[in-house]
A and B are shown apart, each in its own frame.
Chain A
Amino acid sequence: MAQRDEEERYDRALFDRMGELGLTGLPYPERYGGAGLGTFPWVLACEEIAAADMGMAVSLSVHVLSQLCILTGGTDEQKERLLPPMTAGARLGAFALTEPQAGSDAAALGLRAERDGDDYLLTGSKVWITNGAHADIVIVFATVDRSLGREGITAFAVERDTPGFRVGSHERKMGIRDSVSAELIFDNARVPATNRLGEEGAGLKLALSALGAGRIGIAAACTGLARAALEHAARYATQRTQFGRTIADQEMVQAMLADAATSVEAARLLTWRAARLRDAGQPINAASSMAKLYASDTAMRVATDAVQIYGGAGYSRDNPVERFMRDAKGAQIYEGTNQIQRLIVAQHLIEEARRLG
């Protein structure tokens, strides 16, 4: 793990192994090769994987997110054709929404899709695409007419061997370095209309809906990272001796551990609640945003405190807690920044207040 972080190397064999174990299609219907278990078992798996390897958890989470776009936006033919190899882990998925000028403001995307007979020609680029360098199927969001704004955004399942599609540069990241984030370049990439997901103009709604569900997996991964950081810090505190006693005997260290343990439990409960709500068919927009926001902030705070408890040893790359800190920072940014999550929660609250008068 530490070596892959150092080398910024994605290990496809690990993903293949997750496929063999049935982890790559856990939430989705057995009809399409999934385990049919829904969201809750999925978050249990995410927490465990992230506790050891946040990059692999993020890769798996994005793979599952890309399948959700096909499941909710695709036709029966598309689901039967595209999903089984993905649920089995034989084909890796990616989700391509972000562009250099369209991050939080996803509706401002500029990648063009122009109809050409039975195909679309896609032109433009995407950036920061998790799994992008290795994916076999990329869910790409493009506009058929920029003047239509969000009503022009359309989703496509773009396969790796599509003419005119290629992988560009890799981002040189602070953390989650064993999960490669890449630029994707589309130069009149010819995508068959049979790979359009949903109607023209339905893409942004599909993307935002999928991201709402995807945030629950990210929250679970953050809970796993925070838990791992806490357990490393607690163990180190019982071993490190200063002033004739272990630092675990220092009340200031105890306070950090207690706050961390409380936050990890709270993050898990918010995550589990969002997952249970989704499995019950209830609205999850605010719940998944709360879970992602709280769990990623918890991961950052707990990992930072773990480095503090380790002291100089924590600042060294010879110990894992500095990696936890670098990995946690990304989670406050991707899949919707935590500022965007706060806006979603606030909008939900305000709508409810207005509805109730």
Chain B
Amino acid sequence: MVASTAPARSPDPFVLTEDERAVRDTAAQFAQR
């Protein structure tokens, strides 16, 4: 499985909130199985 290239912190308006990061990480963990 590949790691996300989406930046954890990026310039506005693309800063990910905690909720957004949590969703992304949940989906990534599911996908890695």
Contact = CB atoms under 8 A, between A and B. Distances in A.
Interface of A: 17-18, 21-23, 26, 35, 37, 40-42, 44-49, 51-53, 227-228, 231-232, 264-265, 268-269, 272, 276
A22 B20 CA distance: 13
26 contacts: A17-B30, A18-B30, A22-B26, A23-B23, A23-B27, A23-B30, A26-B23, A35-B23, A37-B20, A41-B20, A41-B23, A44-B23, A45-B26, A45-B27, A47-B27, A48-B4, A49-B27, A51-B2, A52-B32, A227-B2, A227-B4, A228-B2, A231-B5, A232-B2, A264-B5, A268-B6
A49 B5 contact: no
B24 A45 contact: yes
A263 B14 CA distance: 18
Which of B3, B27, B31 has the most chain A CB atoms closer than 10 A to its own CB? B27
Interface residues of B, number: 19
A57 B6 CA distance: 18
Contacts of B14: 269, 272
B19 A48 contact: no
A83 to B, nearest CB: 19
A265 B14 CA distance: 12
B5 to A, nearest CB: 6
Contacts, number: 67
Q: Which 9 residue pairs spanning A and B have beta carbons closest together?
A: A52-B31, A45-B27, A48-B27, A41-B23, A44-B24, A231-B2, A48-B28, A41-B20, A48-B31
Contacts of B6: 44, 47, 268
Contacts of A45: 23-24, 26-27
A232 B27 CA distance: 20
A23 B19 contact: no
A315 B8 CA distance: 35
Contacts of B28: 48
A228 B1 CA distance: 8
A40 B6 CA distance: 13
